[in-house]
């Protein structure tokens, strides 16, 4: 990890109390008292009721983004004479309540494990609107999905063709499947997230795909829907998608010569703003470029435009979510390597257990004081957790008011994606509650873990009648 004093994108804020609409939930404001309110609920009253750390989600913002993305892709598809299916990528942030919202809003959902499948079903999503992913689905997961009538299984390997066909045959069903292909498109993103490069575990190569689709077509119990491509995550560049369209439509054309290929799934990966100054394209920009590329390529290959499918996750869930923490120990660390500049280390009561992304992907986040406005000037700060790792960082580079003090409530922006879903009990910390706020009221959709929960599966603890 290169520890520069501050990266070039970080600018000293002109107003430490500012709330940047680019990153915070739509209904988050700093009220006249100086305190942050989300959908009409004050930060301090959320903390009084639910404690910290706390995941807070602006429910109407989540709903608006989900609906907005669905509409955008449907319109873009309609503009080229086809339709679009939009799947919310469940791994991003999933509880049965969120699945319920997704269902109400008419989106489909993607899952990648038995647990995610159960959450979707618990949210009343009809099985036929579920897409099932994963590079190593168990035979049990496959059998359960087939038996429930899952809408599509995304086959990720040659071996999985036989597995899905066997499950479908055993239940005398015809299972719809897609084939995940590895287009080789290098999306402009962090290495670990770039899932379409060749030297990685997902999908099958473009070269192998025709033979594998022929194999799929040999099974009466399988129905081939089309190819699936997911080129990465947190993508800002539209070129990667356009290139993926070129490659997948060429393959799609080839496959169409030997049987029907009704759909083309182009995955997710649409990037969002995490910090002031980020300029993620709007999903409208992505959708328009993709639609034009699909139209051009289909025309070139003289095939009809297939039904399109998309799988946005982060774009829906990231910005409606924030995390609230209570500041504890604060240290001014003098940096000899940087002309004795001072970085304020603000320790909070959570950390890499509730947000692993900074440690895992060197992700950047943005924080503010949520419990009050400050008259102090900005100070270079780093928000760190309470875990026993120096890499336990939540916000690596930011400014906070110089008077930030123990007991202040901090809010970190855009934590709605890949935070709760990646959370752990490292250092035996209990996982935070998830609270949905809407029109002035707050309700827990997942309660906070208790110490008793931590030991619920600890055999000796339970045998001794503790807790
Ligand atoms: C993770 C994932 C997505 C969602 O990616 P985002 O970057 O959150 O939009 C979509 N499709 C597949 C197959 C995925 O693995």
| Tens-digit pLDDT profile for residues 376-394 | 999 999 999 999 999 999 9
Largest CA distance in the chain: 72
Provide mean pLDDT across the span 233-246. 94
Tell me the average pLDDT of the chain: 96
Which atom of ligand 1 is the closest one to the Cα of 235?
7
The answer to whether residue 161 scores a pLDDT higher than 60 is yes
Asked if 265 and 290 count as a contact pair (C-beta separation under 8 A), the reply is: no
Report how far residue 182's alpha carbon sits from residue 258's, in angstroms, rounded to the nearest whole number. 21
Cβ 268 under 6 angstroms from ligand 1: yes
Asked if 80 and 297 count as a contact pair (C-beta separation under 8 A), the reply is: no
- In total, the chain counts a number of residues equal to 467
Q: What local confidence, expressed as pLDDT, does residue 467 receive? A: 54
Between the CA of 244 and the centroid of ligand 1 the distance, in Å, is: 15
The residue whose CB lies within 8 Å of the most ligand 1 atoms, and thus the one to mutate among 62, 73, 87, 110, is 110
The answer to whether residue 351 scores a pLDDT higher than 70 is yes
The answer to whether residue 189 scores a pLDDT higher than 60 is no
Half-sphere exposure of 262 (CA within 13 A, CB side): 9
What is the percent of the chain with per-residue pLDDT over 90, rounded to a whole number? 95
Report how far residue 231's alpha carbon sits from residue 409's, in angstroms, rounded to the nearest whole number. 38
Provide mean pLDDT across the span 362-375. 98
Cβ 233 under 6 angstroms from ligand 1: yes
Q: Which is nearest to 452 in space by CA: 462, 464, 441?
A: 462
Report how far residue 446's alpha carbon sits from residue 452's, in angstroms, rounded to the nearest whole number. 16
Query: What secondary structure does DSSP assign to 338-364, as a single string?
Result: GTTEEEEEEEES--TTT--HHHHH---
Give the C-alpha distances (Å, rounded to integers) separating 381 from 8, 171, 439: 15, 59, 33
Q: Which is nearest to 157 in space by CA: 111, 221, 204?
A: 204
Cβ 314 under 6 angstroms from ligand 1: yes
Report how far residue 307's alpha carbon sits from residue 446's, in angstroms, rounded to the nearest whole number. 36
Q: What local confidence, expressed as pLDDT, does residue 465 receive? A: 78
Catalytic residue among 1, 336, 388, 428: 388
Which residue bears the tokens 């999905």?
145
Q: What local confidence, expressed as pLDDT, does residue 195 receive? A: 55
Provide mean pLDDT across the span 135-157. 98
Report how far residue 5's alpha carbon sits from residue 381's, in angstroms, rounded to the nearest whole number. 10
Q: What local confidence, expressed as pLDDT, does residue 3 receive? A: 75
Between the CA of 119 and the centroid of ligand 1 the distance, in Å, is: 17
Cβ 230 under 6 angstroms from ligand 1: yes
Between the CA of 168 and the centroid of ligand 1 the distance, in Å, is: 26
Between the CA of 217 and the centroid of ligand 1 the distance, in Å, is: 27
Q: What local confidence, expressed as pLDDT, does residue 38 receive? A: 98
pTM of structure: 0.97
Provide mean pLDDT across the span 316-345. 97
Task: Name the pLDDT band for 190 (thresholds 50, 70, 90).
Answer: low
Helix (H, G, I), strand (E, B) or coil at 246: helix
Report how far residue 254's alpha carbon sits from residue 178's, in angstroms, rounded to the nearest whole number. 15
The answer to whether residue 236 scores a pLDDT higher than 60 is yes
Q: Is 388 a catalytic residue?
A: yes
Which atom of ligand 1 is the closest one to the Cα of 315?
9
Which atom of ligand 1 is the closest one to the Cα of 193?
7
Asked if 341 and 380 count as a contact pair (C-beta separation under 8 A), the reply is: yes
Cβ 326 under 6 angstroms from ligand 1: no
Cβ 270 under 6 angstroms from ligand 1: yes
Cβ 91 under 6 angstroms from ligand 1: yes
Cβ 312 under 6 angstroms from ligand 1: yes
Asked if 134 and 157 count as a contact pair (C-beta separation under 8 A), the reply is: no
Domains and CATH numbers, the chain: 2-58+319-454 (2.40.37.10), 79-317 (3.20.20.10)
Between the CA of 232 and the centroid of ligand 1 the distance, in Å, is: 7
């Amino acid at each position: 990890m290169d520890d520069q004093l501050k990266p070039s994108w970080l600018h000293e804020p002109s107003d430490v109390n500012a709330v940047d609409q680019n990153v915070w939930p739509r209904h988050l404001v700093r009220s006249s008292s100086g305190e942050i309110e989300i959908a009409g609920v004050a930060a301090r009253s959320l903390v009084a009721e639910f404690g910290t750390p706390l995941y807070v989600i602006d429910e109407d913002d989540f709903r608006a983004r989900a609906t907005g993305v669905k509409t955008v892709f449907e319109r873009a598809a309609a503009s080229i004479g086809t339709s679009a299916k939009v799947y919310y990528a469940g791994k991003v942030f999933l509880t049965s309540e969120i699945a319920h919202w997704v269902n109400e809003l008419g989106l489909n959902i993607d899952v990648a494990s038995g647990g995610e499948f159960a959450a979707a079903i618990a949210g009343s999503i009809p099985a036929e609107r579920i897409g099932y992913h994963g590079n190593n689905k168990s035979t049990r997961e496959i059998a359960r999905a087939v038996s429930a009538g899952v809408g599509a299984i995304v086959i990720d390997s040659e071996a999985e063709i036989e597995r899905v066909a066997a499950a479908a045959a055993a239940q005398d069903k015809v299972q719809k499947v897609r084939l995940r292909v590895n287009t080789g498109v290098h999306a402009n993103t962090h290495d670990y997230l770039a899932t379409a490069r060749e030297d990685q575990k997902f999908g099958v190569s473009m070269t192998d795909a025709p033979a594998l689709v022929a194999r799929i077509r040999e099974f009466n119990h399988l129905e081939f829907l089309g190819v699936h491509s997911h080129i990465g995550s947190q993508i800002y560049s539209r070129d990667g998608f356009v290139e993926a369209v070129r490659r997948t439509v060429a393959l799609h054309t080839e496959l169409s010569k030997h049987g029907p290929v009704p759909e083309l799934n182009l995955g997710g990966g649409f990037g969002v703003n995490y910090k002031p100054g980020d300029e993620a394209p709007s999903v409208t920009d992505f959708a328009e470029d993709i639609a034009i590329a699909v139209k051009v390529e289909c025309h070139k290959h003289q095939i009809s435009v297939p039904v399109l499918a998309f799988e946005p996750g982060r774009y829906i869930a990231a910005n409606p979510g924030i995390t609230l923490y209570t500041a504890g120990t604060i240290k001014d660390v003098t940096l000899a390597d940087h002309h004795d500049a001072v970085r304020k280390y603000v320790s909070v009561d959570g950390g890499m257990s509730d947000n692993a992304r900074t440690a895992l992907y060197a992700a950047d986040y943005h924080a503010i004081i949520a419990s009050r406005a400050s008259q102090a000037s900005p100070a270079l700060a780093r928000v760190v957790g309470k875990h026993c790792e120096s890499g336990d960082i939540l916000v690596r580079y930011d400014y906070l008011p110089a008077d930030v003090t123990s007991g202040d409530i901090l809010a970190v922006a855009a934590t709605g994606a890949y935070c709760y879903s990646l959370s752990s009990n490292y250092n035996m910390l209990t996982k935070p509650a998830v609270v949905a706020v809407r029109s002035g009221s707050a309700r827990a959709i997942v309660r906070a873990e208790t110490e008793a929960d931590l030991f619920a599966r600890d055999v000796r603890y339970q045998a001794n009648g503790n807790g």
